[in-house]
Amino acid sequence: MKTRLLSITIDASPERVYAFTADPLNLPKWAAGLGRSISKIDGRWMVETPNGVVTVDFAPKNALGVVDHTVTLPDGTRVYLPIRVVANGSGSELVFTLFQTPQMSDAEFERDAGMVAADLRRLKKLLEALPK
């Protein structure tokens, strides 16, 4: 599959960036492209999207900055979203790998890349506005 790495430098420690992005309850605050609300129902994280309810499985808490999650769409399709938080000086670099699935057109891939880039800018703004 074709991939694109989207990254953003954030003026916050990797620990702070990881803690915020790894908390499922924060997902709607920065990942508007995924959905506007999240709730845990019967042990599963569920997100309300314009196309229906999706489930999101998050990587277990870890000390490596891995914030991966897998989204299961209403039709059962699973979409893997690898995300890493790494140190960048006294701040952080957040790196998101976007895959172009076989059924996705080039235009859809570009649209998704734009939405992810907007989400990353929103995340940066939120984290840099928090008190240190």
User: What would the DSSP string read from start to end of the chain?
Assistant: -EEEEEEEEESS-HHHHHHHHH-GGGHHHH-TTT-SEEEEETTEEEEEETTEEEEEEEPPP-SS-B--EEEE-TTS-EEEE-EEEEEETTEEEEEEEEEE-TT--HHHHHHHHHHHHHHHHHHHHHHHHS--
pLDDT tens profile 120-132: 999 999 999 998 7
Mean pLDDT of 54-72: 96
pLDDT of residue 33: 73
Answer whether residue 95 shows pLDDT above 80.
yes
pLDDT of residue 34: 77
pLDDT tens profile 14-46: 999 999 999 999 999 999 877 778 999 999 999
- What are the sequence ranges of the domains in the chain? 2-129
Superfamily of domain 2-129: START domain (3.30.530.20)
